[in-house]
Chain A
Amino acid sequence: MATEQHTWSRPTSFRSHRTKWLVYLITLGIIGWSLAGLAITPQRFIEGLGYGYELIASMLPPETAESDLARLRDAMIETIAMAMIATVSGIVISIPVAFGAAENLSPRPTYYLSRAIISISRAIDGLIVAIIAVVALGFGPLAGIVAISFKTIGFFSKLLAEDIEDIDMKSVEAIRATGASSLQAMIYGVVPQVVPRFVGLAVYRWDINIRSSTIVGIVGAGGIGVLLNRAYQRYEYDYVAAILIVIIAVVLVAELVSAVVRRRVQ
């Protein structure tokens, strides 16, 4: 090669080194802008840590009075019941949306409509949906179920649609070639290919829904969150602690169940 080859600089994945530095500069700028805008002073932070100590002291020991624990148990049953129903209703609605959002099976207009539904459901946080549902339907678990079902649609349809897009279309054709109707082709050609993933996804979403249903109560949409919010408003921090412990326990058990079932299915 040429004699003058003394220099080498690392190639960049950006268009040029200048672009790279520009991107770094912008990133730093955003961080600086964020820090300046939030105006977090160390003093306020340290002060807060002091209150944190007091908070923890007032949480310990967690509330164990029998009547409180009974209310806690009922609220937890309600929470799990909400998650069960929301999972089922969410999935039922998801199925047509998922087929609509599968590029290989769906006509264009249906495809875009389904994708729009999925985007909106995924972009809006569950708690926002819950608070709107509470205003429309009143306080209580119904609002929570509606909110969680709505969130389920975006998640479930998106992943199920991806699985449907991954299926082997040749076997669907083979079923059609035997003279089967479209519905029969669905049942024999498409469904068997997605069922294992479907069950796995359903259980996974159920696990997420258990988590969600523990918090929608904070805006009044039923479940243990209602209890948590009430205890919080009344400064009963020892009861808050008890509720949090139960929430963590239930969330962990749900995660475990979901992991075990998914491993068995696959």
Chain B
Amino acid sequence: MLQTENLGKVYPTGDKALKDVSVEISGQEVVAMIGPSGAGKSTFVRCINRLTEPTSGKVLLDDRELTTLGTDELRNARRDIGMVFQEYNLVERLTVMENVLSGRLGYVSNWAAFRRKFPPEDVQRAYDLLDLVGLDGMENKRVDELSGGQRQRVGIARAVVQEPKIILADEPTSSLDPETSSDVMRLLTDIAVDRNIPVLINIHEVHLAEEYSDRILGLHDGKLVFDGPTADLTGDAKDVIYKGEEIPDTTSVQTGTEVDPTTDGSSDPIAVRE
């Protein structure tokens, strides 16, 4: 279970990218975070495993506070968080297998890592995952020989081979064509169910979010302005997320799992301020 409490990020330039975001993600739910570009979606996801250092608030993974961990402990915590990137972030000059196995780097010695000697279980798991993502037989290809969709599958395999407690996907479809995007989304939702882990996907294509997610988080200007089941994402709610409009009718939106603590005390789960 992942919880964030009042997570905030102010960049050195003074930009407030994230303002008091509190969410809870658990079970095997697929959560899509949507919002206009610059809303802070990437910042939020990256603050969870501290690729970007949050400036306020807490991140709890199975009740373990991550924001205060030292470097060694943080590395251990990262082993439990799988991450899928927009630009895949694979090591292009390494083979597919090396990239997948790099998900196990946190568990082997430096010397074994240098010699590419991973435990047989890990290798077996990697082979199984390549099968799962549809890249069987490609293990010895170099990543720079692959197409975008194939690369993203390798990225997903690398995240899953970690056996993480949660998978974070930062715009996993932005560099892909529509058809491949759907494949990747389907793969992620299948993994959530099969492996019984939650998946948090931030994505700007709303239709993909609506099609594949169980729950939507809406971010506008660094604030969480929507949190509810996908079915509740009405046109009005989209306006709130994308245009920053206030919603006059407080009954139109159902309560999500977490109430934004910054709301003005009403039962409205949508944080509407200013």
Contacts and interface: CB of A to CB of B under 8 A. Distances in A.
A48 B131 CA distance: 63
Contacts of A5: 123-124, 127
A7 B123 contact: yes
A199 to B, nearest CB: 37
B98 interface: yes
B131 A8 contact: no
B123 A6 contact: yes
A9 interface: yes
Interface residues of B, number: 16
* Interface secondary structure of B, over-half rule: helix
Contact of B126 (A8, A9, A10): A8
A10 B123 contact: no
* Interface secondary structure of A, over-half rule: loop
Interface in B88-145: 95, 97-98, 101, 116, 118, 120-121, 123-124, 126-127, 131, 136, 139-140
Contacts of B121: 6
Contacts of B101: 8
A11 interface: yes
B169 to A, nearest CB: 26
A1 interface: yes
A9 B117 CA distance: 8
Interface bin, chain A: under 10
A1 B131 CA distance: 8
Nearest to B124: A6
Contacts of B116: 9-10
A11 B139 CA distance: 10
Contact of B95 (A1, A6, A11): A11
B124 to A, nearest CB: 5
Nearest to B118: A8
A8 B123 CA distance: 7
Nearest to B141: A11
A9 B139 CA distance: 10
Contacts of B95: 10-11
B48 to A, nearest CB: 31
A6 B120 contact: yes
A7 B118 CA distance: 9
Contact of A1 (B118, B127, B140): B127
Interface of A: 1, 5-11
22 contacts: A1-B131, A1-B136, A5-B123, A5-B127, A6-B120, A6-B121, A6-B123, A6-B124, A7-B120, A7-B123, A8-B97, A8-B101, A8-B123, A8-B126, A8-B139, A9-B116, A10-B95, A10-B97, A10-B98, A10-B116, A11-B95, A11-B140
Give the top 4 A-B pairs by smallest Cβ distance, nearest first. A6-B120, A11-B140, A10-B116, A8-B123
